[in-house]
Chain A
Amino acid sequence: MSSLNHMKRMSPPPKLEVEIAGLRLKNPVMPASGTFGYGEEFSPYLDLEQLGAIVTKGISLAPKAGNPMPRLAETPAGMLNAIGLQNVGIEAFCSQKVEFLKKISTPVIVNFFGNTLEEYIEVARRLNEVERVDAVELNISCPNVKAGGIVFGTDPVTAARVVSAVRREVQVPLIVKLSPNVTDIRVMARAVEDAGADAISCINTLTGMAVDLERRCLSLANGTGGLSGPAIKPVALRMVHQVVSSVSIPVIGIGGIMSAEDALEFLLVGARAVQVGTANLVNPGAMANIIAGIEEFLAQRGIEDVNSWIGSLK
């Protein structure tokens, strides 16, 4: 027993490096868009160099005001948000936010969206010119203003059209982030893969609602909001598992990851990497603990490379 412990201590730490569509990450852990600002906000709590990647708040062509307050409602083991994709716009992103990102070497993935197909194309074109952008993440969970507000990501034909149009504009890896608010996520996954996505990230938030009994009104000014946090993890795991089984491009798992164990579950069902969202809001140092926990878990089991854990579900 004591010699076994000794051996464990002597063995080198497990390799955590993973690759997504040509992008090499030191480890499979990165923030989920919209929960990490533009990176800078978290530098007092976390060494940004530790992370697999940084994923920014979603960027659009013009600055976006977002929704009226209240924008947040806590729910059991989760939260609803209706921020309304408030962001500074591509112009200010390039002039104000990129400068900070130049100071760190961690890969940067920029999340973006549009209200029309043309806007998606234009933002993609602009991002492709920014040197510090190592990959883009296309958020298709947005209403198509020209099509009466139908969400791009709920119809496979529309989603494929956006993806292939953006594909033509960008040379960097294109990650497509799927909405869970669909009947069959496998159909969406295949549609975006066929349209040229290099990777898929899923899931975005689940549309939900909360009411305030005292005031007899809906809790969020917007009415509905996106549910995130531990409450959605079982749904997210199921969907990641389904997507992994239906496409051959890498999948990034998202949804309710609070701990290393949660992250390891997503990796086990086949996610190549994970994104951590709500956990950052609860605990700004969450990702550091998750990375350390993954390393410890693998080391304890004598697993030398995280890649041999990924997708090793029996």
Chain B
Amino acid sequence: MKDSITTVLYNRQMAPGYYCMGIAAPGYPQLARPGQFVMVRVNQSYDPLLRRPFGIFRTGTEELSHSEMESQDYMEVVYKVVGRGTRLMSHLVAGDEVGLLGPLGQGFCISPDAGGAMRDAVLVGGGIGVVPLFMLAQQLVARGVKVHLLLGGRNCGDILALAEFERLGVKTSIATDDGTLGEKCFVTQLLQATLQKFPAVQVFACGPTPMLHAVQQICAAAGAELQVSLEATMACGVGACLGCVVEGRNHSEQQPEYLCTCKQGPVFDAHELAWTQEALGPVLTPAEDSL
């Protein structure tokens, strides 16, 4: 975990409203685990004051032939412009400075089941929720796990990083609300169909809270193991302010069991959480964005 001021390497538009930013990030290729996140400080001014949380899309090391430095570690953030902070981010160019705190939080847990076997994996991404799934897919594939990716969005513009997943050899199914790409349905319907065919899988999901609720119900009914990556408003990202909590499974007013999304999450085993309507906090990403 490090806090540094570092440089933007590139900042490319991927699709209308979506950007991919490469940031110099020494050590990240070794340190960062799938599902972890970073807190980005867009600039050093007091407005916006707080850092913004972003999933780590991928990390890597670039060989630099014409420079004194031989290689450069980097990480990529894939983000959607939704407000002031992300708009300012979209204006940054190579060479600009940003504050980078991370890698933070608990990522996805990749482990064999009780019998010692690696189960096939189904990855469910809603809109920008695809971000933490890429590194996860990379590591699952590297371990020889069969990965099936289900992506959902309002329209084809919300379906990101398809080419990257295809290069990994991951089988991908797509659902859009308007049918402009893949099937015209919800991604949760794809999940339901997949679990009917292959019940003995592990599911990993990231997306808007209403989608996660639906995914949890489908997985619980099918008896599939589920890990989810949650969103919450954050200030510190390190477990100090208690601004990002969700209700743990045994939570009650008398015996509060709050979990910090930033520190104990953002990835949780579905069994750790209470799945009442209020338990995961308010819906941050509007529901019409990619169920």
CB within 8 Å of B: which residues of A? Answer: 34-37, 41-42, 44-45, 57, 63-66, 68-74, 76-79, 81, 83, 86, 221, 229-230, 258, 278, 280-285
Contacts and interface: CB of A to CB of B under 8 A. Distances in A.
Nearest to B286: A214
A158 B244 CA distance: 34
Contacts of A86: 242, 245, 256, 258
Nearest to B51: A282
Nearest to B48: A74
A278 B3 contact: no
A72 B240 contact: no
A71 B236 contact: no
Given A63-B256, A72-B233, A283 B3 contact: yes
B101 interface: yes
Given A74-B49, A77-B46, A45 B1 contact: yes
Given A77-B47, A230-B49, A66 B256 contact: yes
Contacts of B258: 65-66, 86
A280 B240 contact: yes
Interface residues of B, number: 33
Contacts of A72: 233-235, 241, 243-244
Nearest to A285: B3
Nearest to B50: A74
Q: 7 tightest CB-CB pairs across the interface, nearest first? A: A69-B281, A65-B256, A72-B243, A281-B236, A77-B46, A37-B240, A281-B235
A71 B245 contact: yes
User: Which of B101, B241, B253, B263 has the largest count of A CB atoms less than 10 A from its CB?
Assistant: B241
Interface in B240-268: 240-246, 253, 255-256, 258, 263
Contacts of B70: none
B41 interface: yes
B156 interface: no
Interface in B216-243: 232-236, 238-243
B282 interface: yes
Interface in B153-170: none
B137 to A, nearest CB: 29
Interface of B: 1, 3, 41, 46-51, 99, 101, 232-236, 238-246, 253, 255-256, 258, 263, 278, 281-282
Given A35-B241, A71-B243, 19 more contacts: A34-B241, A37-B239, A44-B1, A71-B245, A72-B234, A72-B244, A74-B48, A74-B49, A74-B50, A78-B49, A83-B241, A83-B243, A86-B242, A86-B245, A86-B256, A258-B46, A281-B236, A281-B241, A282-B51
Contacts of A36: 240
A77 B49 contact: yes
B46 A41 contact: no
User: Which of A64, A68, A78, A283 has the largest count of B CB atoms less than 10 A from its CB?
Assistant: A283
A64 B241 CA distance: 15
Nearest to A88: B256
Contacts of A71: 233, 242-245
Contacts of A41: 238-240, 263
B235 A63 contact: no
B126 to A, nearest CB: 20
A119 to B, nearest CB: 16
Given A63-B256, A69-B281, A284-B101, A81 B241 contact: yes
Contacts of A258: 46
Contacts of A281: 50, 235-236, 240-241
20 contacts: A34-B241, A34-B242, A36-B240, A45-B238, A65-B256, A65-B258, A66-B242, A68-B278, A69-B233, A77-B49, A81-B235, A81-B243, A83-B242, A86-B242, A86-B256, A281-B50, A281-B240, A283-B99, A284-B236, A285-B3
Given A37-B239, A280-B240, A45 B3 contact: yes
Contacts of A280: 236, 240
Contact of B240 (A42, A65, A221): A42
Contacts of B256: 63-66, 86
Contact of A284 (B3, B47, B253): B3
Contacts of B41: 282-283
Contacts of B244: 71-72
A287 B235 CA distance: 17
B281 A70 contact: yes
Given A41-B240, A282-B51, A284-B238, A69 B101 contact: no
Nearest to A46: B3
Contacts of A63: 255-256
B42 to A, nearest CB: 12
A251 B210 CA distance: 49
A233 B47 CA distance: 15
Contacts of B1: 44-45
A231 to B, nearest CB: 8
Given A45-B1, A282-B41, A35 B242 contact: no
B276 to A, nearest CB: 12
A65 B253 contact: yes
Nearest to B99: A283
A44 to B, nearest CB: 5
Contacts of B278: 68
A35 to B, nearest CB: 6
A282 B85 CA distance: 14
Contacts of B46: 77, 229-230, 258
Nearest to A83: B242
